Structure 1
Amino acid sequence: MLSLWEWIQDMGNSKTLALILFMSTFVGVVIYLFASPRRARKFETYRYIPLDDDDSHREPTTSRRDKTESDEQ
């Protein structure tokens, strides 16, 4: 066990271990997201959200006239 810990503490080996750990986590997340066809379609539609010009999902803003009317009361 001590030799394994010394192997991990070596900077060259720890970088390799970290690369394998993070790459396997990334691949696992991608497989999880796109394995189900229903989930894959849902995430494919999300990619257009930044280009969506529809204002229906935003909160209505109060106009200047509505704000002055509420201030007068």
Structure 2
Amino acid sequence: MMGLWEWITDMGNSKMVALLLFMGTFIGVVIFLFANRQRARKFETYRYIPLDDDDSHREPVARRDKTKSDEQ
């Protein structure tokens, strides 16, 4: 057990352990997101949010309701 600890704490080997740990975490998150079809569909709808230029959904609800009632 002490030999394993010395191997991990060696700077050359700790980089490999960190890489495997972070890669495993990344793959786990991707599997979690896309394993459930409903969650995957919902996640895909968020894909274009940064490119969405329509600001009407960002207005406060009270203001949006007031402008709609004024138009009618």
Pairwise TM-score range, normalised by the shorter structure? 0.7 to 0.9
Residues 1-73 of structure 1 mapped to structure 2, 5 A cutoff: 1-59=1-59
Aligned-residue offset at 1:58: 1.2
Residue segments in structure 2 that go unaligned for 5+ positions in a row? 61-72
Aligned-residue offset at 1:51: 1.5
Report the 3-state secondary structure (helix = DSSP H, G, I; strand = E; otherwise coil) of the residue aligned with 1:54: coil
The structure with the larger Rg is: 1
The amino acid that maps onto 1:50 is P
More helix by share: 2
1:16-70: CA deviations, max 9, x gaps? 111100000000000000111111111111011111122222135xxxxxxxxxx
The amino acid that maps onto 1:14 is S
Q: TM-score, normalised by structure 1?
A: 0.74
Q: Distance in 2 between matches of 1:29 and 1:3?
A: 32
Q: Which residue of 2 aligns with 1:64?
A: none
